[in-house]
């Protein structure tokens, strides 16, 4: 989803000896491993057995509900002792409080889905002062120390949506329902879509709705925009989890919801890959979505926090799970997981996570 969307026992103390790697870098044996360099494993909990806090950005989106369901399953499969998840309820300041509360419980690691790329720095600083490693999921912080960001390439999201709409619509107006621009996800998707249209499809005119990952805001502003622009031909929703239902309802109320192939159909591309989007594709209400991997976010969030608690570090390059670790301009490492485009041609693929949840 979105980028806005929005730790536990005893401080990790350094003990033991420093192991010097001679020759080639160590390779992690666990599933999803990549090359890493060994670090000191730390004190109690340094073997990856300490408690881990998991902080969610919100639970009003089906995407984050699915992620929340995957967390305990993936924690168990990765051998991580995760506490019950905490919901920050779309409030960046509450998320900092949640981080502090988890740290006061004495967690040895934190997996956090930041709501605000800048505001999260305060929470990351708290964790660093207590020696608790953090893995960020879905959203990269602008600053602050994290062991890894587990995220798909959000620039690619905007580009895939642009390419799909551009190939379906030769000219005319298209609407971009944006996320929160305080989040790197909202910025990446918005800027990529805008730049791609300008470069590749100059006959398209982009109209934009800043919706902050809020369904009510999206519905209200889309209604106003459609009153002034009843001739729109395409819509890009940056988060199906919060924008799908209000967008379809708004179009339906105006008699503008036409099935794919029918005259007057508005081509719609979304982001998330939730079951509701797949059903909408099957019905012809929307045309495509980019599947954001909720299952892999949970899996590799747990994988990397366990590795960080063991003192392991990573380097940029390809992984053994079809992704690439890149170094961001901030110096933070990000594992960019695959996020396929889903259309009517592959919507029934049983390997898509959205087809494995009820």
- The 3-state DSSP class for residue 197 equals helix
CATH level 3 topology of 154-291? Rossmann fold (3.40.50)
Structure token digits, residue 53: 């806090």
CATH-assigned architecture of domain 26-152+293-339: 3-Layer(aba) Sandwich (3.40)
* Sequence ranges of the domains in the chain: 26-152+293-339, 154-291
Strands 204-210 and 317-318, by their bridges, are: unpaired
pLDDT of residue 49: 63
Please indicate whether residue 240 or residue 49 has the higher confidence score (pLDDT). Answer: 240
For 101-159, the pLDDT digits (tens) are 999 999 999 999 999 999 999 999 999 999 999 999 999 999 999 999 999 999 999 99
pLDDT of residue 8: 35
pLDDT of residue 41: 32
Mean pLDDT value of segment 316-325:
96
pLDDT at residue 75 above 90?
yes
CA atoms within 13 A on the CB side of 270: 32
pLDDT of residue 4: 37
Alpha-helix residue ranges (DSSP H) falling in 207-326 = 215-228, 240-253, 275-283, 294-309
Percent of the chain with pLDDT over 70: 86
pLDDT at residue 50 above 80?
yes
- Write down the pTM of the prediction: 0.83
> Rounded distance, CA 265 to CA 286, Å?
9
pLDDT of residue 285: 98
pLDDT at residue 23 above 60?
no
pLDDT of residue 347: 98
Alpha-helix residue ranges (DSSP H) falling in 233-293 = 240-253, 275-283
pLDDT of residue 357: 86
Instruction: Establish whether domains 26-152+293-339 and 154-291 are of one fold.
Output: yes
pLDDT of residue 6: 33
How far is the first Cα of the chain from the last one, in angstroms, to the nearest whole number? 18
pLDDT at residue 39 above 90?
no
Give which of 175, 179, 212, 180 is closest to 197, Cα–Cα: 175
- The 3-state DSSP class for residue 52 equals strand
Mean pLDDT value of segment 86-107:
97
For 201-254, the pLDDT digits (tens) are 999 999 999 999 999 999 999 999 999 999 999 999 999 999 999 999 999 999
Strands 172-178 and 204-210, by their bridges, are: parallel
């Amino acid at each position: 989803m979105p980028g806005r969307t929005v730790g536990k026992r005893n401080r990790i103390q350094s003990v033991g000896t420093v192991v010097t790697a001679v020759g080639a870098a160590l390779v992690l044996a666990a599933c999803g491993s990549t090359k890493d360099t060994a670090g000191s494993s730390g004190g109690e909990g340094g073997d990856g057995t300490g408690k881990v806090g998991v902080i969610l950005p919100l639970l009003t989106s089906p995407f984050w509900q699915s992620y929340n369901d995957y967390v305990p399953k993936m924690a168990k499969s990765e051998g991580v002792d995760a506490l019950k998840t905490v919901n920050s309820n779309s409030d960046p300041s509450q998320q900092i409080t949640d981080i502090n509360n988890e740290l006061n419980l004495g967690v040895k690691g934190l997996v956090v889905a930041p709501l605000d790329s800048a505001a999260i720095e305060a929470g990351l600083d708290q964790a660093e002062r207590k020696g608790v490693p953090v893995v960020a999921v879905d959203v990269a912080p602008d600053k602050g120390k994290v062991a890894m960001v587990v995220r798909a390439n959000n620039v690619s999201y905007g580009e895939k949506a642009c390419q799909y709409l551009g190939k379906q619509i030769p000219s005319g107006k298209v609407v971009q329902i944006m996320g929160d621009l305080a989040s790197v996800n909202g910025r990446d998707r918005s800027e990529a879509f805008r730049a791609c249209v300008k470069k590749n499809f100059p006959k398209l005119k982009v109209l934009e709705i800043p919706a902050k990952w809020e369904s009510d805001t999206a519905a209200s502003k889309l209604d106003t925009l459609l009153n002034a622009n009843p001739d729109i031909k395409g819509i890009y929703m940056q988060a199906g989890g919060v924008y799908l239902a209000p967008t379809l309802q708004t179009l339906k109320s105006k008699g503008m919801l036409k099935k794919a192939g029918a005259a007057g159909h508005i081509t719609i591309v979304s982001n998330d890959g939730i079951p509701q989007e797949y059903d909408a594709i099957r019905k012809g209400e929307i045309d495509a979505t980019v599947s954001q991997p909720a299952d892999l976010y949970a899996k590799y969030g747990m994988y990397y926090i366990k590795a960080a608690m063991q003192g392991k570090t990573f380097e940029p390059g390809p992984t053994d799970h079809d992704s690439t670790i890149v170094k961001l301009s901030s110096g933070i490492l990000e594992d960019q997981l695959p996020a396929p485009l889903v259309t009517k041609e592959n919507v029934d693929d049983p390997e898509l996570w959205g087809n494995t949840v009820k």
